[in-house]
Amino acid sequence: MTVYLMAGGGTAGHVNPMIAIADALRERDASAEILMLGTAEGLEARLVPAAGYELITIEKLPFPRRLTASALTFPVRWRRAVRAVRDVIVRRHVDVVVGVGGYASAPAYAAARAQRIPIVIHEANARPGLANRLGSRWTHFVGIAIPGTPLRDARLVGMPLRAEFEHLVDPASRAELRRSFGLDPDALTLVVTGGSLGARSINGAVSAAVPDLRSAGVQILHITGRQTAPIGSQAHGHVVLEYCDRMRDALACADLVVSRAGSSTVSELAALGVPAVFVPYPVGNGEQRFNALPLVDAGGAVLVPDGEFTPAWIRENALPLLLDTARLNEMASVSASVGIRDGRARMLDLIDEAMAPLTK
């Protein structure tokens, strides 16, 4: 029996690929033991048990970026975290560590190196985090979701997506999905999402542009997110949801999607063959812009800075795009051609390759 230790978490962008890889491993070998390593503060604390996996938690341990009191105690806490993971590896007879980035990954990589077991890494973003940059020094088995991600020995495997994202959407299915959300099955459909927490700038601009969109015959499925201000009552043809647990179905309804440019969202839309307008999150290291660029450069999506995404931009750019069927079809075709739908299988191949010396 093979024992896998999956490490990572913090955000959905880390947790969902980790669960997708685990699901693929379990589907292939029901006898495999799959352990998840994370923190009690990250989304993994909720999502991992809900997916049916055992979660082992360690201390949340951000790398210090400046000299503070916390930085002074970092070496002691780092050694303690690595020792805790080594204990798990030894006690549970772990064969391989598979990390996806996030706070729990770095101690897991260090512990695996100390115990001389294989390390496999998946990096979802165009700009890798510190944990995966560290771990990539200790392994040749690094999978990336975005072309050009600067990690040593990186191989393009795409994003490990849930099985439901591994197939394009046919027109008949799209019509049925629209009905399931209370939408007209035959009307032009704009789907808007800012992620699970929402995006105030996107919500505000779209809400102000609803009269123009509706006058042009466009209906809107608007997923606002849980931590944004209410956007008011919904008009006919403007379906508003605070949260959606059927994101694949929601995205598959769309002729066009407006969204942030998290790596998972970019990968999901390309896999489904859905055109997009990406409005990258304006805070941080700019990684969302880089996540979107390969699809934008190929012609499957449009990029607009957050500060320029206004009701006027929607009227002058998004609305004409929605009414240009030929261009939407071309963008959908390009998106589908760029999308990687077998990211889970590619990651399993990478894991198998890393473990090959152990099976000889």
Ordered by where they begin, the domains of the chain are 3-162+342-359 (3.40.50.2000), 167-338 (3.40.50.2000)
Cβ partners under 8 Å of residue 20, min gap 6: 160, 161, 162, 343, 344
Whole-angstrom distance, CA of residue 127 vs CA of residue 261: 13
Q: What is the pLDDT of residue 359?
A: 67
Whole-angstrom distance, CA of residue 113 vs CA of residue 298: 39
pLDDT digits (tens, 9 = 90+) for 88-129: 999 999 999 999 999 899 999 999 999 999 999 999 999 999
Contact of 278 with 292, CB cutoff 8 Å? yes
Task: Print the SS3 string covering the chain.
Answer: CCEEEEECCCCHHHHHHHHHHHHHHHHHCCCCEEEEEECCCCCHHHHHHHCCCEEEECCCCCCCCCCCHHHHHHHHHHHHHHHHHHHHHHHCCCCEEEECCCCCHHHHHHHHHHHCCCEEEEECCCCCCHHHHHHHHHCCCEEECCCCCCCCCEEECCCCCCHHHCCCCCHHHHHHHHHHCCCCCCCEEEEEECCCCCCHHHHHHHHHHHHHHHHCCEEEEEECCCCCCCCCCCCCCEEEECCCCCHHHHHHCCCEEEECCCHHHHHHHHHHCCCEEECCCCCCCCHHHHHHHHHHHHCCEEECCHHHCCHHHHHHHHHHHHCCHHHHHHHHHHHHHHCCCCHHHHHHHHHHHHHHHHHC
Q: Can you say how many angstroms the Cα of residue 285 is from the centroid of all Cα atoms in its chain?
A: 17
Q: What is the pLDDT of residue 75?
A: 87
Q: What is the pLDDT of residue 86?
A: 97
Ramachandran class of 232: left when φ > 0, alpha when ψ lies in -120 to 50, beta otherwise: left
Neighbours of 53 (CB within 10 A): 18
- pTM over 0.85? The answer is yes
Contact of 203 with 221, CB cutoff 8 Å? no
Whole-angstrom distance, CA of residue 225 vs CA of residue 250: 14
- Listed as ranges, residues in the chain with pLDDT below 70 are 69, 196, 227-235, 359-360
Q: What is the pLDDT of residue 202?
A: 95
Q: What is the pLDDT of residue 169?
A: 83
Whole-angstrom distance, CA of residue 275 vs CA of residue 18: 26
Question: What amino acid occupies position 131?
Answer: A
